[in-house]
């Protein structure tokens, strides 16, 4: 819990990401709505961080293909509601400026200033919903107030060659940001003091003094420009305001045994290979992303499902899973699964083999089918005896997408009465 419980903090979650580099997974949904880890959506991680940190006044700003996200939040996060300081409310793009969608991250907040002013918070947390991360946001709020900051930016050190894709802060030894530049060339990026090889990268998560945020957004809206925190707001604030860098790796999470702490976790899943590998990391005995810390749970929709079931025990026809995550409602009816992540209600029929795959809800893997290094989106049916990820030409003939990394993606299918039929 925050050390400053008397401070009122309002969270605005930026959940309008298009996720173009995650196509075809984002063909029918926004990036924050993409399933992850069997039973979660990407947005569940930022919302869990906020609620676990004691921040329960939450507005979720949507824009791009938002219906899947809206349905999920309504189903999964209803329990947050219950009072003036406890809500998780979806806010569709209001188009407050006429026929204009949000023009940038700062403009998204500007067009919802009425929500900020009505709530009367001491501080506003502006957090993204595009990444997989675990973080005690209360510790960042404490840092913000203890330093008398007008804005605090969550930062992490990265190699200088990554600078062209990131916002880079130049901070002094006290952590105060003196300059901020968006996506500089590696040779032009300001280095961390005493470290010639690394730079301080913004994670796109911020804490603002409420009055200061309102003032800088009003000023930004009156000028031409990007209307973006990284491109316009932070570069201007760094030269005239008290802006501090919060070291993400100083963050600590409680562990359920009550002894010691868990380090924070952050992962960019903005490309198919990055998304796939982040899921595959969950297979290990002690993955970096700990989903089993009951003191810092990652919450999501609670489906009323039976347990996963593994049936048949004959040579070549054995329901078996190794080094895998299997969600509720799955049936391995004599099928073999290894090094994979399965969502809810997946059926793997007899003699089918699924290796190094991410399989989403309600998929059916037919008898004798073989899948390798594939992502199977929701409701997809793989025909008996068919292959995915084995023969690139065959995958192309079936209309599947093959990423340059060699990962095959089977597109989402409509949910039909047939897709709900399950083995008993």
pLDDT band at 258 (very low <50, low <70, confident <90, very high): low
Model confidence at 228: pLDDT above 90: no
Mean pLDDT of the chain: 92
The fourth-level CATH superfamily of domain 9-268 is: Spore Coat Polysaccharide Biosynthesis Protein SpsA; Chain A (3.90.550.10)
Q: In CATH, which of 2.160.10.10, 2.30.40.10, 2.30.42.10, 3.40.50.300 is domain 309-420?
A: 2.160.10.10
- The pLDDT tens digits of the residues spanning 298-327 come to 999 988 899 999 999 999 899 999 999 999
Please report the pLDDT score of residue 397 as a whole number.
Answer: 96
**What is this structure's pTM?**
0.93
Question: HEC states along the chain?
Answer: CCCCCCCCEEEEEECCCCCHHHCCCCCCCCHHHCEECCCEECHHHHHHHHHHCCCCEEEEECCCCCHHHHHHHHHHCHHHCCECCEEEEEECCCCCCCCCCCCCHHHHHHCCHHHHHHHCCCEEEEEECCEEEECCHHHHHHHHHHCCCCEEEEEEEEEHHHHHHCEEEEECCCCEEEEEEECCCCCCCCCECCECCEEEEEEEEEEEEHHHHHHHHHHHHCCCCCCCHHHHHHHHHHCCCCEEEEEHHHCCEECCCCCCEECCEEEECCCHHHHHHHHHHCCCCCCCCCCCCCCCCCCCCCCCCCCCEEECEECCEECEEECCEECCCCEEECCEEECCEECCCCEECCCCEEEEEEECCCCEECCCCEEEEEEECCCCEECCCCEECCCHHHHHHCCCEECCCCCEEECCCCCCCHHHCCCC
What's the pLDDT tens digit per position in 35-55?
Answer: 999 999 999 999 999 999 999
Q: Where in the chain is the domain with CATH 3.90.550.10?
A: 9-268
Residue 5 pLDDT class (50, 70, 90 cuts): low
């Amino acid at each position: 819990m925050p050390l400053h419980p008397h401070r009122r903090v309002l969270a605005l979650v930026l959940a309008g990401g298009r996720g173009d580099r995650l196509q075809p997974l984002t063909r029918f949904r926004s990036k924050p709505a993409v399933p992850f880890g069997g039973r979660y959506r990407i947005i569940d991680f930022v919302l869990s961080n906020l609620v676990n940190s004691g921040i329960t006044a939450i507005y979720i700003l949507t824009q791009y293909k938002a219906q899947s996200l809206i349905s999920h939040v309504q189903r999964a996060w209803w329990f947050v509601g219950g009072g003036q300081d406890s809500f998780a409310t979806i806010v569709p793009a209001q188009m407050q400026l006429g026929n204009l969608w949000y023009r940038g991250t700062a403009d998204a907040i500007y067009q919802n200033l009425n929500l900020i002013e009505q709530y009367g918070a001491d501080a506003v947390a502006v957090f993204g919903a595009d990444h997989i991360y675990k973080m005690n946001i209360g510790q960042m709020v404490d840092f913000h107030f203890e330093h008398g900051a007008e804005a605090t930016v969550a930062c992490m050190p990265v190699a200088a060659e990554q600078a062209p894709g990131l916002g880079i802060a130049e901070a002094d030894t006290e952590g105060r940001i003196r300059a901020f530049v968006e996506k500089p060339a590696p040779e032009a990026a300001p280095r961390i003091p005493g470290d010639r090889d690394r730079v301080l990268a913004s994670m796109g998560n911020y804490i603002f003094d409420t009055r200061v945020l309102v003032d800088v957004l009003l000023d930004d809206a009156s000028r031409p420009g990007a209307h973006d925190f990284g491109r316009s707001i932070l570069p201007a604030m760094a030269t005239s305001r008290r802006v501090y860098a919060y070291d993400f790796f100083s963050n600590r999470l409680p562990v359920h045994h009550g002894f010691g702490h868990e380090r924070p976790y952050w992962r960019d899943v903005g490309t198919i290979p990055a998304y796939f590998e982040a899921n595959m990391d969950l297979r290990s005995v002690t993955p970096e992303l700990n989903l089993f810390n009951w003191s810092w749970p990652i919450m999501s929709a609670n489906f009323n499902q039976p347990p996963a079931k593994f049936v048949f025990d004959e040579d070549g026809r054995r329901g078996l899973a190794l080094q895998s995550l299997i969600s509720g409602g799955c049936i391995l009816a004599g099928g073999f699964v290894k090094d994979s992540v399965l969502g809810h209600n997946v059926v793997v029929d007899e003699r089918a083999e699924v290796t190094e795959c991410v399989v989403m809800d309600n998929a059916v893997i037919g008898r004798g089918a073989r899948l390798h290094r594939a992502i199977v989106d929701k409701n997809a049916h793989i025909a008996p005896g068919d292959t995915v990820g084995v023969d690139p030409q065959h995958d192309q003939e079936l209309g599947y997408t093959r990423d340059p990394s060699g990962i095959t993606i089977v597109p989402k299918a409509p949910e039909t009465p047939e897709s709900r039929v399950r083995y008993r």
